[in-house]
Amino acid sequence: MSSTITSQPVAFHAAAKKVAAAAVAHETWPVAEVVALFELPFNDLLFRSQQVHRANFNANEIELATLLSIKTGGCPEDCGYCPQAARYDTGVTAQKIMPLDEVLAAAQAAKDQGATRFCMGAAWRAPKDRDLDSVEEMVKAVKAMGLETCATLGMLEEQQAVRLKEAGLDFYNHNLDTAPEFYGDIITTRDYQDRLDTLGAVREAGLKVCCGGIVGMGESQLSRAGLIAQLANLNPYPESVPINHLVQVEGTPLYGQDGLDPLEFVRTIAVARITMPKARVRLSAGRRQLGEGIQALCYLAGANSIFYGEKLLVTGNPEVEEDKSLLQRLGIHAKTA
Ligand code: SAM
Ligand code: DTB
Ligand code: SF4
Cβ 90 under 6 angstroms from ligand 2:
no
In this structure, which residue's CA is closest to atom 1 in ligand 2?
242
Alpha-carbon radius of gyration of the chain: 19
Q: How many beta carbons lie within 10 A of that of residue 260, not counting itself? A: 19
In this structure, which residue's CA is closest to atom 7 in ligand 2?
121
Contact 174, 146 (CB under 8 A): no
Cβ 244 under 6 angstroms from ligand 3:
no
pLDDT computed for residue 23 by the predictor: 43
Using the atom order of ligand 3, give the atom closest to the CA of residue 121.
Answer: 8
Whether 75 sits among the annotated catalytic residues: the reply is yes
Cβ 284 under 6 angstroms from ligand 2:
yes
pLDDT < 50: residue spans in the chain: 1-13, 16, 19-24
Distance of CA 212 from the midpoint of ligand 2 (Å): 11
Cβ 212 under 6 angstroms from ligand 2:
yes
pLDDT computed for residue 173 by the predictor: 98
Gap between the Cα atoms of 219 and 207, Å rounded: 30
Whether 298 sits among the annotated catalytic residues: the reply is no
Contact 209, 171 (CB under 8 A): yes
Contact 41, 263 (CB under 8 A): no
**pTM attached to this predicted model:** 0.92
Give the closest residue to 226 by CA, choosing from 45, 49, 32. 32
Give the closest residue to 167 by CA, choosing from 201, 139, 141. 139
